A and B are shown apart, each in its own frame.
Chain A
Amino acid sequence: MKAAIIVFPGTNRERDMAIALERVTGRKPAMLWHRDTALPQGLDLVVLPGGFSYGDYLRCGAMAAQSPLMAEVKAFAARGGHVLGVCNGFQMLCEAGLLPGALLKNASLRFLAMDCTMRVERADTVYTRGYQQGQEFKATMAHGDGNYFCDAETLARLEGERLVSLRYSGANRNGSINAIAGILSPNLRVMGMMPHPENCVDPLVGGEDGLPMFQGLAESFLTAA
């Protein structure tokens, strides 16, 4: 798998993501700076990592969504490329219009940093094929604005077309509509999710509940290549 992680000013989980990807592929992903103007050739996956791009000022992910390389990411997605956005990356995907809806402030108005459990709503995507349909897994959550919101029509479409990939199965602490933790684009190639599977890939640190996501990705692109 050839993966690239895009680093924005204020991104802070790019190293965590790189460790998780390297763990399953044995190779370091490319780290790209948001001011770069082109994506490397032959990429299988672009990752927008977590953090506080531009300090979360204005709105989370809003300024990053306008950065030069994001135009290339949009074009990559339009060509059918795979894009994973985690936490701040999910917020960017929504701000960039690659996924519908928006992430509002947590219902409690407090930053939430704890483990959460999610249920896999469909296991037939490159992101979730490492899990069983209906399987529950744990990941770290760490966000101030993870409260997924969309209008009723969009919600009906997301649910109707089975584009909700992950749903909080325990407490829905951030108040997301329909307990949505992750959603997909209609072609199932762009996924955004709030919790951090990349912090759960090591038995000594955070457990291995997130590992199947990365193993699934590695297997997908191994067979593709």
Chain B
Amino acid sequence: MKLRVTVMPKNGVLDPQGKAIQQALGGLGFAGVEDVRAGKVIILDVAETDAAAAKAAGEEMARKLLANTVIESFTVEAI
């Protein structure tokens, strides 16, 4: 099965990419974009078939490597 790990900068952590995207959108005439946060999505194809077990493993992977919990938060979903 597949897991989708979404990694986002934590609230309060400066996100220069998000800021730059927001400015660029403004420059293109998209008004009213009040905030942009840029993160990343990692898709894992795992052998585990039990959704709960797979999700638990994914969370462990995220804590250990995929996200830096000093600056990033993450969510893991089975897809």
Contacts and interface: CB of A to CB of B under 8 A. Distances in A.
Direct contact of A and B (CB under 8 A): yes
Nearest to A105: B16
Interface residues of B, number: 12
A102 B65 contact: no
A62 B65 contact: yes
A150 B71 CA distance: 8
A104 B66 contact: no
B68 A109 contact: no
* Interface residues of A, dominant DSSP: loop
Nearest to A66: B65
A175 B14 contact: yes
A70 to B, nearest CB: 12
Contacts of A151: 12
B56 interface: no
Nearest to A61: B68
B13 A149 contact: yes
Nearest to A63: B65
Contacts of A66: 64-65
Nearest to B69: A102
A107 B70 CA distance: 18
A58 interface: yes
A54 to B, nearest CB: 11
Interface string A51-79: 00000001100110010000000000000
Contact of A104 (B14, B20, B64, B65): B14
Contacts of A100: 70
Interface in A83-99: 94-95
Contacts of A175: 14, 16
Given A62-B68, A104-B71, A109-B17, 4 more contacts: A63-B65, A102-B68, A150-B70, A175-B14
7 contacts: A66-B65, A102-B68, A102-B71, A104-B14, A107-B14, A107-B16, A149-B14
Interface of A: 58-59, 62-63, 66, 94-95, 100-102, 104-109, 147, 149-151, 175
